[in-house]
Amino acid sequence: MSKFVLAAVIIAAIVPLLLRLAVSMRFHGDMYTIDTIPPRPVAIVFGARVYPSGALSAMLYDRVATGVALYKAGKARVLLMTGDNSTVEYDEPTAMKSVAVQMGVPKEAVVVDYAGRRTYDSCYRARSIFQVSSAILVSQAFHLDRALMLCSGLGVSAVGIAADYQRPTGYSWNSLAWSQLREFPAVFIGALDLLIRPTPILGQPLPIFPDEPVQG
């Protein structure tokens, strides 16, 4: 292996690591508990794996349960369930809404975003389609700093809450380890997205609060 190739490999490994650490440090102060988090109009609940049976994975169940807790505590008026519905057979947002309603959230207080295929897409569409300017982000701690980075860069003033009720016993070791490792390249790609600004699937605006002026 030439020195040039070796240097390139080292740089390719170090840059995502340093960026991940920098983003984590930058947004750590924007993460709260259910008791300390400031109220926001909307809680954005990010999608994750749904099984063929329609059951939510442990991580996704925790996200939905945390969103429900925020609603019941008066911390959020509406839950925006955003996830992947790229095929007829796979529908994260509908499954998330169903569980939230079963937990006691009124149907009219749950909005679904069927095109949140990536975190970047969810944040972009929250601002562009649903006209969200201020939100609580709900996900696992390992994912929150990236979500906060993306929403902040796309014009959504956000704070975060970690949905880790079942950790560590409820999450498989393989799932947790893979999720944490993938954040290193994912944060790097997210930073590139903010620079390039690719346009995700869009459509007509569907403001969550149509009678209220859009801020920002």
Residue-wise pLDDT tens digits, 179-212: 778 888 899 999 999 999 999 999 999 999 987 6
pLDDT of residue 181: 80
Number of separate helices (H) and strands (E) present in the chain: 6, 6
DSSP secondary structure code for residue 109 in this structure:
G
Residue-wise pLDDT tens digits, 104-157: 999 999 999 999 999 999 999 999 999 999 999 999 999 999 999 999 999 999
Tokens 């799932």 correspond to what residue? 175
The C-alpha angle with vertex 53 and arms to 79 and 126, in degrees rounded to 5, equals 25
Please tell me which residue, 164 or 148, carries the higher pLDDT value: 148
Q: What is the pTM of this model?
A: 0.89
The dihedral through the CA atoms of 161, 182, 133, 157 has a sign that is: positive
Q: Can you list the domains of the chain with their CATH numbers? A: 3-196 (3.40.50.620)
126 closest CA partner among 26, 3, 136: 136
Distance CA 83, CA 153 (A): 20
Residue-wise pLDDT tens digits, 65-116: 999 999 999 999 999 999 999 898 999 999 999 999 999 999 999 999 999 9
How buried is residue 53: exposed, middle or buried, by Cβ count under 10 Å (0-12/13-18/19+)?
exposed
Q: Which residues are 137's β-sheet partners?
A: 44, 160
